[in-house]
């Protein structure tokens, strides 16, 4: 058996929640390795819906260890609120089921305030952040001034690090003419939340090394999508962390040699939240139809997602950059009933054909899709659990996607229900 890394192959919102939950039943350990509470996963189990944003998907199942890795930025108040919400829904969460990396950086209220102020100041040039402080928290981490989870257990260190942190932030606030942050007040808030966080704190790299030695199955759960990667995405309209599979090792302390099978969650069409280039966006009736049928609203923010045809160029690039071995194709049923379906096979940028998304902002903005149109199908694919249940034209569509992205379909999802899944290949057995 092997370990599995799950990443999004588009701009996020590909349906990772269901797939990760489907895989977590077969795993012993589930690890979140990047992002923060800006990522939303919706799980539907036995007709009950759970919405997670920071906790790994494994927490809804018994006898699984869920780990928030060092690559994640943690808002302690949001985390406690999410834990309480799941407990009210009947989910048991205790230190035997959940571990938080001692070296994970914290998101503080000042980060969210700064995030929202910057977005407002950008006006029409907004990036489209969730305003939850993710970016500013990563900035403090890279700037070596972040407050980390382990600091909550040492009041003297915490107070000293807060002074250094606020020396930076209050200088910025003064320059903006904004009120400064009171160090004692923030220290008191952190000391109050600390007892609710500290019981879960541990050293994941040691636990993961031991689990791997014992042959346990580890599932690494990414947030967002590869095209939102800080290095490899459509910069600057990206998230503030690396979302590629390699981050699973760096963001958890696990050996890169043991990552195993990389599964790219891929929607059968394309969506994007917020600003940024989107060559295949359909600003017409079909785009509206895809959004309505696919219930394309963000789990965390509730924001409406932009919708368009499948972009094979984008996914092919994500597969190569992300080391994806196979894809889980989701939401095929949303395409039911369409007379024809488009697949983007290239970009026309100022009269020149591109088979990849260039890094230049101006070229990204100028990219126009080159489409290949395929016949649609009128039959329903919703709830299909075998290839025999699928229309021939739907299978043809899937096969053409495989050819263009140069990767096989490993799993096929045909509804939000976890059992409405066709497994072509078990990632854990790969």
Q: Catalytic residue numbers?
A: 13, 41
CA distance 200 to 426: 32
d(CA 152, CA 187): 10
Half-sphere exposure of 235 (CA within 13 A, CB side): 10
Q: How far apart are CA 9 and CA 100, in angstroms?
A: 26
Contact 418, 328 (CB under 8 A): no
- Whole-Å CA distances, 154 to 74, 158, 160, 195, 221: 18, 6, 10, 12, 30
**How many CB atoms neighbour CB 84 within 10 A?**
12
Residue with tokens 């039959």: 379
Q: Whole-angstrom Cα distance, residue 146 to residue 134?
A: 12
The answer to whether the beta carbons of residues 7 and 15 sit under 8 Å apart is no
Angle, in degrees to the nearest 10, between helices 183-197 and 109-122: 120
Find tokens 């999410």 and name the residue.
82
């Amino acid at each position: 058996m092997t370990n599995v890394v799950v990443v999004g192959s588009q701009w996020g919102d590909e349906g990772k929640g269901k797939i990760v939950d489907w895989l977590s039943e077969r795993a012993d350990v589930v690890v979140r390795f990047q992002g923060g509470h800006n990522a939303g996963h919706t799980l539907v189990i036995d007709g009950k819906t759970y919405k997670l944003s920071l906790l790994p998907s494994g927490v809804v199942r018994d006898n699984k260890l869920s780990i928030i890795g060092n690559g994640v930025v943690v808002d302690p108040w949001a985390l406690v609120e999410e834990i309480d919400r799941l407990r009210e829904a009947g989910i048991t969460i205790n230190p035997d089921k959940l571990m938080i990396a001692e070296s994970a950086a914290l998101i503080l209220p000042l980060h969210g305030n700064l995030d929202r102020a910057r977005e407002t100041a950008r006006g029409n040039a907004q990036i489209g952040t969730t305003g939850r402080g993710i970016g500013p928290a990563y900035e403090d981490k890279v700037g070596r001034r972040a407050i980390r989870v382990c600091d909550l257990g040492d009041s003297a260190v915490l107070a000293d690090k807060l002074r250094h942190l606020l020396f930076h932030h209050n200088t910025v606030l003064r320059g903006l003419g904004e009120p400064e942050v009171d160090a004692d007040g923030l220290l008191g808030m952190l000391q109050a939340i600390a007892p609710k966080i500290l019981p879960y704190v541990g050293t994941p790299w040691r636990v993961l090394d031991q689990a791997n030695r014992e042959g346990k199955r580890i599932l690494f759960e990414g947030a967002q999508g590869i095209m939102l990667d800080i290095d490899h995405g459509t910069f600057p309209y990206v998230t503030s962390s690396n979302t590629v599979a390699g981050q699973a090792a760096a963001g958890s302390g696990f050996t890169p040699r043991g990552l195993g099978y990389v599964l790219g969650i891929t929607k059968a069409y394309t969506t994007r939240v917020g600003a940024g280039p989107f060559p295949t966006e359909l600003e017409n009736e079909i785009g509206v139809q895809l959004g309505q049928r696919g219930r394309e609203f963000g789990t965390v923010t509730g924001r409406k997602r932009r919708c368009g045809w499948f972009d094979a160029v984008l996914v092919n690039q994500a597969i190569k950059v992300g080391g994806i071995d196979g894809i889980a194709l989701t939401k095929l049923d949303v395409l039911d009933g369409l007379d024809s379906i488009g697949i983007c096979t290239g970009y026309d940028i100022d009269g020149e054909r591109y088979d990849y998304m260039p890094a230049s902002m101006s070229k990204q903005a100028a990219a126009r899709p080159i489409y290949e149109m395929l016949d649609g199908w009128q039959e329903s694919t919703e709830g299909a659990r075998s290839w025999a249940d699928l229309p021939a034209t739907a299978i043809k569509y899937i096969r053409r996607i495989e050819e263009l992205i140069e990767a096989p379909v490993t799993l096929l999802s045909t509804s939000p229900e976890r059992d409405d899944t066709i497994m072509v290949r078990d990632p854990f057995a790969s």
